[in-house]
Structure 1
Amino acid sequence: RQEVHDAARRARGAARGLATLSTDTKNQALRTAADHILMNTRAVLEANEADLDAARAAGTPTAMLDRLA
């Protein structure tokens, strides 16, 4: 629970910093992030499958698993 609060606090701080950037800078950052996601698609999908396996083993409800898939 504390981790979620900490992550939210960091996200708010990052959002304030991003708000001051130019549109071009934000667009370039988004393009770079998209490129990295595309270059690492296999790893992302494998990690997601591992997370789903762990969630199943922990007894996570099917409705929640459907949202994670």
Structure 2
Amino acid sequence: MSEDLREAVIEALKGQDGIAALLLAKKLGRQLMEVLRILEELSAQGIVEKRGKTYRLKAINLEVSKGTR
């Protein structure tokens, strides 16, 4: 997983109530599949929550995601 893209996705999700993967990819200027892969990995780690087609950070994991590096 690209650490730069991972950090960019987490930063883009901060303060968002939920954002679609396509909009997030356009915001970051990256390919949709690349962003989806990162979002799914973050979801599997419990950092991001998927609701339908939108993703958002889990509030309890904001501090944990910063401390894993």
Which one has the bigger helix percentage?
1
Which structure has more relative contact order (CA 8 Å, sep 6+)? It is: 2
User: Do the structures match in fold with TM over 0.5?
Assistant: no
Query: TM-score if structure 1 supplies the norm length?
Result: 0.28
Larger Rg over CA atoms: 1
Of Structure 1 and Structure 2, which has the larger fraction of its residues in strand?
A: 2
Structure-2-length-normalised TM-score? 0.28
